[in-house]
A and B are shown apart, each in its own frame.
Chain A
Amino acid sequence: MRRIAAQARKELTQIVRDWRTMALALALPVFLLVLMSNALSLTVNELPIVVQDFDGSTASNDFIDAFRASITLHVVSWPVDKTAEAALASNAARAVLIIPFHFGRDMARGINAPVQFMVDASDANTAKLVSAYASQITSAYAQQVGGAQAAPILTAIRLWFNPGLSSTKFFAPGIFVLAISMFPPLLAALAMAKEGEQKTILQVYVSSISAHEFLLGKIIAFMAVALAECLVMSLLLFTSFGLSFAGDPTPALIATVLYVFCVAAFGTMIGAIIPNQAAAMQAVAFGGFLLVYLFTGLIFPIENIPAGLRWISDLVWGRYYIEIVRDALLQGGGWAAMWFKVLIIGVIGAIFYTSAWLGMRRMQVKA
């Protein structure tokens, strides 16, 4: 026990000494959390649109006013002598609303008046959102002027867990997990690979410390780093992002302890298997960043991944933790929904620890 503590203290001292690693350990995760959870959003605000009104009647003005009042769309001016497509081609607008001649007259006569809405669909997702907004505005307008027939079925739509549809509330927990999955293993892998690269591992072998004590000491040190990161970032989540525990917080708390063990063991394992700092860093960048970024449902739902690749996400440890954190902060499903995921994180952590131990034995043979 004393030897484990000594090993952990040595690792922490090494981290505190180098300003680069300190910044990497504490400042960068916070910076990333603030930046990415704000920047990753997919739901747009004030999307520029151009209106071409060939009618110029009171009715068409009323209709355009309905679009002007929207906070999602932002009507920008466009010279009348240029075509509507030019606005889209030059990226001045993302959509064009074209109101034809005789719009007002047709409306007054009780004839249905078609209005064209051209959307720049090079970004398919935004195009879908914009056309959904536009049709909402149109149907609200139709109800207002009374042209709409009463619908037999009305839908009362309730948005659960995130009624304000705030994207940051969804992305911030994900970025939190991404940061925890990336930086502690990076530091752990660097520290472990350095032992192999500089052959200081030989000193460890001749000392009285056992392989398990050595590994646990290292892992505990980087768990401490990861927990410090968790603490700083969750302070941010609870204050400036306005999140709070939606239900029973114990699954998330226990999962956090298991997960920081899992990522610290992952980094140590990489460092033990690849005793080269640059290569180890690339391996962590792949496992800790790319896999977590792509296969955990961080930005887009996992169901969207084609079935041929989707199985990968079952193996990515970050996926389970993201689901647990999102559940704790947004949905509040509690133990009943999450116990299995907590268990899997523990199992993956144990696998990483075993591989790290095996990797260290191989290191010994090589060194």
Chain B
Amino acid sequence: MRKLLDSLFSYRLRALLKKEFSETRHDRKLMFSMTVMPVVQLTLIGFALSAAVTNVPLAIVDDSRSPESRELVATLTESKSFRLAGYYSSVDQLGDAVSRGKADAGMVVPYDYARNLARDRQTTIQFLLNATNANTATISRGYAESVIQRFNTGLRNQGIHIRIQPNAGSDFARRGQVQLQPAFLYNPGLVDSWFIVTGVLGLLLILDSSLICSAAMVREREAGTLEQLLMSPASSSEIIVAKIMPLFLLLFLMMLGSIGVLKLAFRVPFHGNIFLLLMGGALCILSGISIGTVIATFSKSAQQAQLLCFFVNPPLSALSGALNPVEAMPKWLQPFTVLNPIHHFATIARGATLKGSGAMELWPSFLGLLLITLALGSLSVWRFRKQLS
């Protein structure tokens, strides 16, 4: 056993580890950016990026000016989805308000609204939506439809029945109605931030580990001490392992801190096995480190490495499914997510926390992460060796 340990952690490796650990420990800026920054970023992003559609400003043109129309307006604006942005006297003014951004929705109640209802006739109200943001428009349209549907049911219960049935089949009276009963699993309160923060955790792990690792790898080359290391009896894999170890431990600590933020600030439920999450995180950090190592082998200075990160990171984060569902991407881009460690980690993080999935469901993501790490790791070792010779 001792022999095995000795061969694993040879004297050389231990000496190298000692050097790297003390170098890392003394880098105040690095320590700061590893501990404080991720927590700040996670909190900012989690709170600032929210897809929730609430309090959509609704402008009203009420040509009916009746108690009935005011009741409709009140029903809409009392819901959390819409808030009253103001009354306008004509459709033109309302259109103007919407294009100036004073309101994002508008409702026009026709002058014969109350009269039609009193006479059991169908009326049509017009509902305008600013659709520049497709997502908000779709969701607020859903809100408007469901509020008005409920309002209709209320009217029917009050005894208003429309006499002319537009689509009445011969046996319509005998047909039942389909009642769709939606059930929201894993997140019945529909908390938006849970999806974002579980995705951003992976995003931060990959971005920070690749950035920090590439900087650490390049530093020796910049300072010209790489040659000295190579002259030492240590093998190149020992050098790499010793370089990676302290970074890995630091990043792992950072991940633990971020998981704490997830739990305490955002109250993400942990239904699954925390061990799975930690294992996925460890693999994710390793793949981030290997991305950083590959970047480092392509650059001569810390500045070049950072510039290269600018080329690699945006596509990685855009094609990850961390902030938006993969199904929302164009079809031809979707297969690329398989190559993205952030995507796999996001699946693991959401599975292990929100969904309570086990290893049975999550093994494909673990396999994906492992393969990416191995492929990038061997690429960087190969590039590193080639540069040395």
Contacts and interface: CB of A to CB of B under 8 A. Distances in A.
Contacts of B185: 85, 88, 118-121
Contacts of B51: 42, 124-125, 300, 304
A159 interface: yes
Contacts of B168: 146
Contacts of B361: 89-91
A146 B175 CA distance: 7
A148 B133 CA distance: 32
30 contacts: A35-B319, A35-B333, A47-B327, A113-B179, A115-B178, A115-B180, A117-B181, A122-B198, A125-B52, A126-B328, A129-B139, A135-B145, A135-B182, A147-B175, A150-B166, A154-B123, A156-B125, A157-B141, A158-B128, A160-B98, A160-B99, A160-B128, A160-B131, A170-B133, A277-B303, A281-B306, A295-B48, A304-B53, A326-B132, A333-B100
Contacts of B72: 153
Contact of B186 (A40, A114, A120, A155): A120
Interface of B: 41, 44-45, 47-55, 72, 95, 98-101, 117, 120, 122-139, 141-142, 144-146, 148-149, 151-152, 155-156, 160-162, 164-169, 171-188, 190-192, 194-195, 198, 215, 302-304, 306-307, 310-311, 314-315, 318-319, 323-325, 327-331, 333, 347, 350-351, 354-357, 361
Given A24-B311, A122-B187, A146-B168, 16 more contacts: A36-B318, A45-B328, A88-B185, A118-B185, A124-B187, A127-B190, A129-B138, A131-B142, A132-B146, A135-B182, A150-B122, A154-B123, A165-B131, A186-B310, A295-B48, A331-B130
B156 A123 contact: no
A42 to B, nearest CB: 4
Contact of B52 (A90, A118, A147, A304): A304
Contact of B347 (A91, A113, A128): A91
Nearest to B169: A146
Interface size class of A (residues with CB under 8 A): 35 or more
B24 to A, nearest CB: 17
Given A151-B162, A156-B127, A108 B50 contact: no
A106 B176 contact: yes
A80 interface: no
A114 B49 contact: no
B178 A141 contact: yes
Given A160-B98, A165-B138, A332-B99, A121 B327 contact: no
Contacts of A306: 47
A219 interface: no
Contact of A43 (B41, B45, B134): B134
Interface string A9-34: 00000000000100110001001100
Nearest to B33: A282
Contacts of B192: 124-125
| B98, B117, B327: residue with the most chain A Cβ atoms closer than 10 Å | B327
B329 to A, nearest CB: 5
A134 B194 CA distance: 23
Given A122-B195, A152-B122, A294-B49, A132 B141 contact: yes
Given A38-B330, A42-B328, A45-B328, A152 B160 contact: yes
B180 A160 contact: no
A152 B183 contact: no
Given A118-B183, A121-B185, A161-B132, A113 B177 contact: yes
B50 A304 contact: yes
B303 to A, nearest CB: 5
Given A147-B177, A162-B132, A301-B133, A154 B122 contact: yes
A299 B303 contact: no
A88 B175 contact: no
A240 interface: no
B237 to A, nearest CB: 28
A147 B330 contact: no
A128 B139 contact: yes
A70 interface: no
Contact of B181 (A114, A132, A323, A326): A114
A330 to B, nearest CB: 5
B195 A123 contact: yes
Nearest to A88: B185
Contact of B99 (A114, A152, A278, A333): A333
